[in-house]
Amino acid sequence: MKIIVTAEARLPKNYALVRDMVHEHGTGRHLTAADVHSFAKQRQPRIGYSTVYRALNRLARLGLVSEVLVPGADVTYYESVAGPHAHFRCAACGRIDDLDYRLPKAAVARIAREHGFEIGDVLVNFTGRCASCREPAGG
Ligand SMILES: [Zn+2]
Ligand SMILES: [Zn+2]
């Protein structure tokens, strides 16, 4: 029998449940801790909000779920770990959408070279008005 010890294998049961809920519901969507709590309760009715909240923090630190870091958002959102993408936040209604966009590698490499930095994560955020909030054209 092969035993693989990873950060995931050592996760408490409730934390693994929280991770699964984000993976099942969080692709292309952004979940608040309250959303994750309500999904988790369907599987484990006694799980508490604070457990879910702590689990999300820990899972984010371990890189098992992603925190959606968007300036101006009033709550923290979580999503499953996806490929690099940008976020758009509507300043009018607050919705946050995924955008299939990443800064070109060459642009990141140039910035790193010019400043002598080593660049790790690149987060790209856009704000504005979503399709339903924007003023009708010509109106
Ligand atoms: Zn909007
Ligand atoms: Zn996203």
pLDDT digits (tens, 9 = 90+) for 89-129: 999 999 999 999 999 999 999 999 999 999 988 889 999 99
Judge contact between 24 and 42, C-beta under 8 A: no
Residue 96 CA to ligand 2 center (angstroms) comes to: 8
Ligand nearest to the CA of 133: 1
Residue 8 is predicted with a pLDDT of 58
Ligand nearest to the CA of 88: 2
What fold, for 83-139?
Answer: Dna Ligase; domain 1 (3.30.1490)
- Helix, strand or coil, per DSSP, at residue 77: strand
Distance CA(79)–CA(130), nearest Å, equals 20
Residue 81 is predicted with a pLDDT of 83
Ligand nearest to the CA of 128: 1
Q: What whole-number percentage of the chain has pLDDT above 90?
A: 70
Distance CA(26)–CA(89), nearest Å, equals 17
What fold, for 1-82?
Answer: Arc Repressor Mutant, subunit A (1.10.10)
Tell me where in the chain the CATH 3.30.1490.190 domain(s) lie. 83-139
Please report which confidence band the pLDDT of residue 74 belongs to, taking 50, 70 and 90 as the band edges. Answer: confident
Residue 138 CA to ligand 2 center (angstroms) comes to: 31
Judge contact between 69 and 112, C-beta under 8 A: no
Single pTM value for the model: 0.79
Ligand nearest to the CA of 98: 2
Q: Alpha helices, DSSP H only, in 29-129?
A: 33-43, 49-61, 105-115
